[in-house]
Structure 1
Amino acid sequence: MVLILMVSVAITVDRVSTERIRTEVRQEWQAKIDDLALDLQGRILQNIKTVWGLAAGVSVEPELGEARFQELAAVIFRLATELRNIGLAPDFVINNIYPLEGNEAAIGLDLRTQSLPAEQVLMLMETERAVFSGPVNLVQGGQGLAARIPILSPAPMSSGAWFA
């Protein structure tokens, strides 16, 4: 009888100990995941803030040529190293992209018909805030997270220009 009681107590203690260890391991991993999530959010927000700088440049120079766009985008890429490409899309059609190499398939892409759902187009136009979507199937291959940032103009524009 004493042996059975001792085995029962040992099993109970083992279960409690195992559950406590599992809880500690879960909490430890959750803390690591939370740290990674915060780091990722910070990087994304920092990159978006950097791209807003390009949006400001385009808003004061709306007739930006290809060479000037490439020059400005190159600076943005040095500051926001996680970016893979930046596109300029007046009337939601990409007409400039940086870097051009490897992204040629995106030139001429109409975001309203091939990438952006109607509700996101409306959000961009009404809220004048960045809209995120992803994963997005990219026409140049692969997938990515896309942030679309409206470009505000000092004077009302008849049509909007947007970053993809």
Structure 2
Amino acid sequence: MKKNYPPYVVGLIVLIISLGITLLIEINQTRKHEQESRNQTLTYLSAVRARLEGTFNSTIYLSRALSVLVTAQDGITHSKFNQIARELMASSHHIRNVALAEGYVINFMYPLAGNQKAVGLDYRKTPKQWQAVKRAIDTGQTVVAGPVKLVQGGVAFINRTPIFKSSFSDKPDSGDFWGIASIVIDMDSV
């Protein structure tokens, strides 16, 4: 026995099945688009991360090199510091300035123009910067802090490497504290 359904019921069933299939296709396409968006975002963020790591790692090596030069020469003159800092800045367009603090006070700065306010800065009297400086001294390792509001204006990342007089002994970075080498990384260019 064959049952005949009125045409509006058949039409309604076909409409419901069509809507269900359309909904399933839409859900599938939305998931596919979300996955593609996630993959594109992840790829972009991975590239940004790699660029940031490269920038920070290169400045860590540069500040470490500066600290080794200061240790090897048992100090540094202003003219020698300026020559070295000029070369360091030429090696990376992200470097905003290079500073040396003999003890806890910045007394070497390159370039000096635009950074005069930072010369004479005593880290111990600058609570927002002292914490990172103290951590660098205590650990004997380079510390990158930021974003930091600079006394000379602007915001940047600061890479600080402690300098110890006994860097060439059996126990590097274990002797008397000499000072801090700092490289300021321009946040906008990174």
Q: Do they fold alike, i.e. is TM over 0.5?
A: yes
Which residue in 2 is equivalent to 1:85?
97
Distance, in Å, in 1 between the alignment partners of 2:113 and 2:91 is: 20
Within 5 Å, give how 1:150-161 maps onto structure 2: 150-154=162-166, 156-157=175-176, 159-161=177-179
Find 2:52's aligned residue among 31, 40, 50.
40
Deviation of 1:86 (Å):
0.8
Distance, in Å, in 2 between the alignment partners of 1:117 and 1:98 is: 21
1:7-50 deviations in whole A, cap 9, x for unaligned? Answer: 12102211221121111111121112112211220121012202
Within 5 Å, give how 1:14-163 maps onto structure 2: 14-114=26-126, 115-118=128-131, 120-154=132-166, 156-157=175-176, 159-163=177-181
More deviation, 59-68/141-150: 59-68
| 1:133–1:146 CA contact under 8 A, matched in 2 | yes
Q: 4+ runs of 1 displaced by more than 6 Å?
A: none
Q: Secondary structure at the match of 1:141?
A: coil
Q: Secondary structure at the match of 2:120?
A: coil
Q: TM-score, normalised by structure 2?
A: 0.78
Which residue in 1 is equivalent to 2:5?
none
Which residue in 1 is equivalent to 2:172?
none
1:123-146 deviations in whole A, cap 9, x for unaligned? Answer: 222321001110100011110001
Distance, in Å, in 2 between the alignment partners of 1:161 and 1:62 is: 12
Specify every segment of 5 or more residues in structure 2 that has no aligned partner in the other structure, as ranges: 1-12, 168-174, 183-190
1:73-124 deviations in whole A, cap 9, x for unaligned? Answer: 1111122332111110112210011111111110011122214244x34422
User: Could you tell me the percent identity over the aligned residues?
Assistant: 27
AA aligned opposite 1:21: H
Distance, in Å, in 1 between the alignment partners of 2:104 and 2:122 is: 6
Q: Secondary structure at the match of 1:22?
A: helix
Which structure: larger Rg?
Answer: 2
Higher strand proportion: 2
In the alignment of these two chains, the number of paired residues is 162
- CA root-mean-square deviation: 1.7
| 1:56–1:152 CA contact under 8 A, matched in 2 | no
